[in-house]
Amino acid sequence: MTTNTFIAGKGFLYRFDPRAKLLLLVLLCAFVFLPVSMPGLWLVVAVVFLTTWSSTGFKQALHPLRSILPLLIIMVVFIPLTHRDSEVVLSISGFPLVTTGALENFNLLAARFIGITYMCTLFFWTTPMGDIMLTLRWYGLSHKAALVLTLAFRFIPFIADAFQMIQDSHSMREPNLGEKDRRRQPLADVVPTVTSALVFALKSIPQLAMSLEHRGFGRAGARSAYRRLAPRKGLFTHFFFSVMIPASLWLVFNTLG
Amino acid sequence: MEKTNVSSQKTALRIALVAVLTAVVVVFTLMVRVPTPLKGYISLCDVVIYFAAYLFGPWAAAIAGGLGTGLADLLGGYAQWAPLSFIIHGAQGLLVALIARAPISAGVRGDAPFIRMVMGGLLGVIVMAGGYYIAGGFLYGFEPALVEVPLNLLQAGVGMVLGIIVSKTVQKAYPPVRSLYW
């Protein structure tokens, strides 16, 4: 099991400071929920998609869209049930199938959902997991919380491999192919595997706690500390852009004025 | 030689407990899937959240449940759901444990009573399905979000049943689990 979401690529986002990039992500996610014009919202979505395309390639850029496609189809299917009282665009035997209100609502929700999906995905594709951790530390994540996260990442492949082996060994207890006297019970069959996997994982906890103590956890003079993100040139500029991009978009596309 | 005190030993154990449970939640979310009659799948992340809530208390369940499902969303390619999963499953674990383990927190010795496990579990089912419905409603509309409610109810319900069963079987198979607590 892979525990890395980073995809090597090219483009300004790879050179953008992760601290500023995280701020930009949060502000852009907030932007899509503000009262902005639809062309403005779709423009932002298009720019984010094009950035994903230029950073990781077209094929890779389609992945997030594929993952949310079922939900988009469900949204289309549910159009006839929403905003029945507005102007009818299409009707079948008197039943209002599509209304202007429903279309506007679908337009807004689809733009928001696609936009948020691409923004979040792009952040994790263009930022190495180590840098994300250090960014969170820079924003105030405690040492203990960071330790939990890094240890969890360390243990995911270990437990996944063990689980696979446990699952394989339990599957050997199932009846032979062709023997139809025993009905398959998905839930009952899963209990022994889940129990074994949990016991295996729990057995590693005391050892891990001891390892932490041996490494000096809890001592006054800590023997190790997390690396800090280097104070880089242009950090202020990156933060400036992170604030100015959403602020400018809001000023141009807001529908309040 | 400098010695670690009891408090830091306890903290080390808690960190190890939560880290391993978080990893287990991720693995169970991404790897363990039970087929449903509609040719779909439901994940078993809720089993670990309920299991942690029944055996290890509210903080372990909340942190491991929230972090684990959030990380699983990130690694599974659904980054947009990660913060929501963190909050929803975190709240689920916290509330289930608070109700199920209330007598233990009050000083009563023994395991969480069965009836409280079920009561807490049912609240967890409602929190999970309701939380995703509200989150989905804001993200892609309340009508389409209704489609996911039955599946979420099924997943959380299965998680509750298996969580109760597994919390008993694990205690039988590995009695020292009682010494691991938050």
Whether residues A18 and A92 share a domain: the answer is yes
pLDDT-based confidence at residue B69 (cuts at 50, 70, 90)? very high
Please indicate, yes or no, if residue A3 is contained in any of the structural domains: no
Q: A75 vs B144: CB contact, 8 Å cut-off? A: yes
- The closest CB to that of B2, out of A78, A201, A219, belongs to A219
Domain co-membership, A29 together with A79: yes
pLDDT of the residue at B83: 93
- Give the tokens for residue B114: 């069965």
Kindly give the pairing relationship between strand B41-43 and strand B33-35.
antiparallel
For residue A83, what pLDDT is reported? Answer: 78
At residue A180, does pLDDT exceed 90? Answer: no
Q: What domain range is A219 assigned to?
A: 142-173+186-226
Q: In sequence order, which residues have a C-beta less than 8 Å from that of residue A188 and are 6 or more positions away?
A: none
Could you give the C-alpha distances from A219 to A17, B7, B15, B52, B163, in angstroms and in order? 33, 11, 15, 29, 37
Q: Which two tokens stand for residue A40?
A: 């403005």
Query: Is residue A17 in some structural domain?
Result: yes
Q: Is ipTM beyond 0.85?
A: yes
Q: Given CB atoms, is B63 within the 8 Å cutoff of chain A?
A: yes
Residues contacting A62, CB < 8 A, separation 6+: none
The reply to whether A148 and A221 lie within a common domain is yes
Rg of the Cα atoms in chain A: 25
pLDDT of res. A90: 84
The verdict on residue A162 lying in a domain is yes
Is A208 a residue whose pLDDT tops 60? yes
pLDDT tens digits, residue range A213-254?
888 777 766 666 777 777 778 899 999 999 999 999 999 998
Does a structural domain hold residue A6?
no
User: Are both A34 and A157 inside the same structural domain?
Assistant: no
Query: Could you tell me if A163 and A199 lie in one domain?
Result: yes
Same domain? A62 vs A159: no
Does B174 touch chain A if contact means CB atoms closer than 8 Å?
A: yes
Rounded Cα–Cα distance for residues A112 and A110 (Å): 5
Q: How many helices (H) and strands (E) does chain A have?
A: 10, 2
B8-179, CATH topology level: Arp2/3 complex 21 kDa subunit ARPC3 (1.10.1760)
Mean of pLDDT over chain A: 87
Q: What span, in angstroms and rounded, lies between the C-alpha atoms of B162 and A123? A: 36
Whether residue A181 is contained in a domain is answered as no
Residue spans of the domains in chain B: they are 8-179
Q: Can you name the residues that pair with A99 across neighbouring β-strands?
A: A88
Looking at the fold, whether A36 and A102 belong to one and the same domain comes out as yes
**Chain A interface includes B47 (CB < 8 A):** yes
Q: Which of A109, A46, A37 is nearest to A253 (CA)?
A: A37
Residues B121, B160 contacting (CB under 8 angstroms):
yes
Residue B53 to residues A185, B13, B96, Cα–Cα distance (Å): 26, 17, 6
Number of structural domains chain A divides into: 2
Other beta carbons within 10 angstroms of residue B85's beta carbon come to: 26
Q: How, if at all, do strands A88-92 and B41-43 pair? A: unpaired
End-to-end CA distance of chain A: 50
List CB contacts of B156: < 8 A, sequence separation 6 or more.
B46, B92, B124, B125, B128, B129
Residue B40 pLDDT more than 60? Answer: no
Do residue A117 and residue A156 come from a single domain?
Answer: no
DSSP 3-state assignment of A32?
coil
**pLDDT for A96:** 80
The angle, 0 to 180 degrees and rounded to 10, between the axes of the packed helices B148-173 and A186-214 is 60
> What amino acid occupies position B74?
L
Examine the domain organization and report whether A207 and A159 are in the same domain: yes
Q: Cβ–Cβ of B20/A208 closer than 8 Å?
A: yes
If one compares A40 and A186, the residue with the highest pLDDT of the two is A40
Give the Cα separation of A10 and B172 in Å (integer). 54
Determine, yes or no, domain membership for A53. Answer: yes
Which position has the token pair 């390892």? A211
With respect to residue A63, please indicate whether it lies within any of the assigned structural domains.
yes
Query: In this structure, what token pair is assigned to residue A12?
Result: 């300004």
For an interface test with A, which of B18, B21, B24, B149 has the most A Cβ atoms less than 10 Å from its Cβ?
Answer: B24
Predicted pLDDT at B64: 96
The structure tokens listed for B129 are 């399905």
DSSP A176: P
Closest in B7, B18, B162 to A191, CB measured? B162
Please list every residue in chain A whose beta carbon sits closer than 8 Å to the beta carbon of residue B21: 201
Average pLDDT over residues B100-108: 82
One-letter amino acid at A257 equals G
For residues A36 and A157, membership in a common domain is answered with no
Q: Which of A6-10, A201-205, A214-218 has the largest mean confidence?
A: A201-205
Least confident among A10-19, A52-61, A169-178, B96-105: A169-178
Verify that A50 and A121 share a domain, yes or no.
Answer: yes
A106 & A159 share domain: no
How far apart are alpha carbons A133 and A197 in whole angstroms? 28
Q: In this predicted structure, what is the pLDDT of residue A179?
A: 60
A231 within 8 A of A19, measured Cβ to Cβ: no
Q: What percent of chain B has pLDDT over 90?
A: 61
Chain B residue closest to A32 (CA)? B139
Q: Are B100 and B54 in contact (CB under 8 A)?
A: yes
